[in-house]
Amino acid sequence: MRWNRRNFIKAAASAAVASRGLTLRALTGSDDRLNWFREAKFGMFIHWGPYSVAGVEASWPILIPNSEITEAEYRALPERFNPTLFDPHAWIALAKSAGQRYMVFTTKHHDGFCMFDSLYTSYKITRTPYGKDIVKMLADACHADNMPLGFYYSPPDMNHPGFRDMSKPATKNFRGEPERPEWPLYLDYMGLQLDELLTRYGSVAELWFDSVDMRVQAEYDGQRFLDQVRRQQPATVVNNRLGVPADFITPEQFIPKAIPVKGVRMDSPDHSQADKMAVAVPRAEDFQPWETCMTINNTWAYRPKDHNFKSTDILISVLIEVISRGGNFLLDVGPQPDGVIQPEFVERLQAMGEWTRRNAAAIYGSTYGPLQGQAAYRTTSRAGKFYVFAMDSAATELIVGPLDRPVREVKLLATGKPLTFHTNGKNTSIPLNKELWEQGIPVFEVG
């Protein structure tokens, strides 16, 4: 429907009445919310929408134009969006084959287009030639296939006149205009759409709010929406991009140099204390849960011109760097306009899965290891066990330590084969040979 004040207030009142019948679960503690998150470690991020038809990045071509597409052309893309080959079960099967244990899907990006059948806008998937609620299809499949599903939701919205004066090009006011009297109505719109996402689609594992500028988040009244999530889905973990502390922080396209701790900024690549903390191992109660998101090439959305694909070895190395500092790795795919994930992504994800299956014990449910800041190896720990990832294929020996306990055995995790080692009580030397790298980066279980 067309947005106007009368329609908006009528819709808000209807939603408020409907919500009175909801039975809300009792609040759970943050540790309970984070248990699955800490266990999962590796997830699939999905950026998909009508922008895939043009092969351009999500939203940004109308925020910072690059001469590829005009704002008018971009806004008309839904008229051609008809992903008839979309199969949510195929996406889930691919994620599982990669060793990814949850998914996060873009329900609405900065452009304002909704991949769900929102009552409060006509700029949505059910008004395209495809006509079906993508979020519902994916959510139903994830619940059937036992895959936790999270939702990305962008508070910035280039298509809503409460967010910005739409008589101006988006380039002039894409950060929003909270000084305008329409701003409170926009926040109500956000609340209504979050209500839809939190009540229509079953359990939501994660809510991933975004921002066009991390410096302009305060005007979103983040605590209001965090409280809404806690009321409606207490088990949902929430990121930190609403301008208020929540469950986890979100470094983007980079890995913190040190294990993040509470009260120290670690979600920006230029944080000043990282080098000082690079070898520090924090107490469990000081650890700051985190999740880094990253692309396989250089683009979040489907971009046929972008052939700068990271190799499987690099992607596995990134996963190791992340989990060795206690984090989660959310690796992005941008499906094609027909709904199929491109073969270059499939090839890399499946190859990662072969490695993650062999070394699962060192990955899932793990946390940062007892030794940090080592050039030749990374470490994780899990259930009282200690794992070492050898990072230098040219090395002939790995010296691990100092450790505060004696080493009794060393095994190659992928095969369970015992390995020769030497120890002097604190440092342990593990001889290396090229055969250890035949199945990718070797992982040792140290007992």
Q: Are residues 252 and 393 in the same domain?
A: no
pLDDT at 375 over 50: yes
Assess contact for 216 and 114: CB atoms under 8 A.
no
Residue 21 confidence (pLDDT): 31
Do 327 and 393 belong to one domain?
A: no
Name the pLDDT band for 66 (thresholds 50, 70, 90): confident
DSSP bridge pairs for 106: 152
Q: What share of the chain is helix, strand, coil (3-state, %, to 5)?
A: 35, 15, 50
Angstrom CA distances, 215 to 275, 329, 398, stand at 24, 24, 44
**What integer is the mean pLDDT of 202-208?**
98
Q: What is the CATH number of the domain that holds 433?
A: 2.60.40.1180
**In terms of domains, do 155 and 247 share one?**
yes
CATH code where residue 42 lies? 3.20.20.80
Kindly give, in sequence order, each residue whose CB lies less than 8 Å from that of residue 139, ignoring residues fewer than 6 positions away.
149, 201, 202
Q: What pLDDT was estimated at residue 403?
A: 87
- Examine the domain organization and report whether 398 and 355 are in the same domain: no
Q: What is the pLDDT of residues 71-99, one digit of tens each?
A: 999 999 999 999 999 999 999 999 999 99
Given a contact cutoff of 8 angstroms between Cβ atoms, the answer to whether 387 and 445 are in contact is yes
Mean pLDDT computed over 34-59: 97
Nearest C-alpha neighbor of 327 from the set 132, 42, 97 = 42
Looking at the structure, tell me whether residues 18 and 119 fall in a common domain.
Answer: yes
Q: Which of 307, 335, 364 is the last residue of a domain?
A: 364
Same domain for 137 and 280, yes or no, is yes
pLDDT of 222 higher than 60: yes
Same domain? 360 vs 373: no
pLDDT number for residue 406: 87
pLDDT at 231 over 60: yes
Determine what percent of the chain is predicted with pLDDT higher than 70.
Answer: 90
Given a contact cutoff of 8 angstroms between Cβ atoms, the answer to whether 260 and 269 are in contact is no
Residue 85, both tokens: 């080959």
Could you tell me the pTM of the whole model?
0.91
Average pLDDT of the segment spanning 207-230 = 90
* Residues 311 and 163 occupy one common structural domain: yes
The pLDDT of residue 144 is above 90: yes
pLDDT at 239 over 70: yes
Q: Domain containing 420: what range?
A: 369-446
pLDDT band, very low/low/confident/very high, at 1 (cuts 50, 70, 90): very low
Q: Final residue of a domain: which of 321, 344, 364? A: 364
Q: Residue 275: CA atoms inside 13 Å, Cβ hemisphere, count? A: 2
The average pLDDT across 298-317 equals: 98
What is residue 359's predicted lDDT score, i.e. its pLDDT? 98
The whole-number pLDDT of residue 264 equals 84
pLDDT for 180 equals 96
Do 308 and 414 have their domain in common? no
So what's the pLDDT on residue 263? Answer: 86
User: Do residues 66 and 101 share a domain?
Assistant: yes
Among 343, 364, 385, identify where a domain stops: 364
156-178 pLDDT tens trace: 999 999 999 999 999 999 999 99
What pLDDT is attached to residue 12?
A: 44
Amino acid found at 206: E
8 Å CB contact between 266 and 274: yes
323 and 380, same domain (yes or no): no
Nearest 5 degrees, angle CA 182-CA 154-CA 175? 55
| 390 shares its domain with 333 | no
Structural domain count, the chain: 2
Decide if pLDDT at 14 tops 90: no
Mean pLDDT of the 109-120 span: 98
Helices 343-358 and 88-98: crossing angle in degrees, nearest 10, is: 40
**Would you state the pLDDT for residue 279?**
72
